[in-house]
Amino acid sequence: MTPQPKATILTADEVRRAMTRIAHEIVERNKGAENLALIGVHTRGIPLAARLAAKLEELEGVAIPTGMLDITLYRDDLSEISHQPVIRETHVPFDLARRRVILVDDVLYTGRTVRAALDALIDLGRPEGIQLAVLVDRGHRELPIRADYVGKNLPTAKSELVKVKLLETDGLDLVELWDLNGTADQ
């Protein structure tokens, strides 16, 4: 069985519009962009956070501090995945105190990555609050976690995979739904 793409979920234009809408919702909910910070979760949360920062600066004229978070050491399955996990860069070059932090990721599924991200973040400081923005919420939560800003709510089966491709990491913007069961190889 080979995994097969079965549908396009978001085109490049739709990704752009979803991120623009989320930026507007962030401004609305926070009554502006003062004291916000954006933190992208590896891998694709990082370019998405940068896009939101650019959009918020365009909308509100405020430069938003932006950071990146690697959650590997905080995973609840760390002991099962590898003896030598690959650790990527965590870079949060500002004080979290009195900031409302918006965590950014591409896909929200079980919620375990976000749980780990919350622990990683709180080890770095005590923000005034933490909100969550995701491009796609595909359901199947295993923890009591929800997103504050969602580009696209997509009911899925567990046998499916949401593949987010971004210009910065993959050369194009596209969100696809894949069937992990695929079709029988000939």
Ligand X SMILES: O=P(O)(O)OC[C@H]1O[C@H](OP(=O)(O)OP(=O)(O)O)[C@H](O)[C@@H]1O
Which residues contact ligand X (rule: CB under 6 A)? 41-44, 105-113
Q: What minimum distance in Å lies between the beta carbon of 40 and ligand URA?
A: 14
Q: What minimum distance in Å lies between the beta carbon of 114 and ligand X?
A: 6
Q: Which is nearer to ligand URA, 3 or 65 (CB)?
A: 3
Q: Which is nearer to ligand URA, 35 or 156 (CB)?
A: 156
Binding residues for ligand URA (CB under 6 A):
107, 109, 138, 161-162
Secondary structure element (H or E) that encloses residue 148, with its range: none
* Cβ atoms within 10 Å of 55's Cβ, excluding its own: 20
147 CB-side CA count, 13 A: 28
Q: Which is nearer to ligand X, 23 or 106 (CB)?
A: 106
Q: What minimum distance in Å lies between the beta carbon of 122 and ligand X?
A: 17
**Which conformational region is residue 86 in: left (phi greater than 0), alpha (psi within -120 to 50 degrees), or beta?**
beta
Tell me, what amino acid is at 139? G
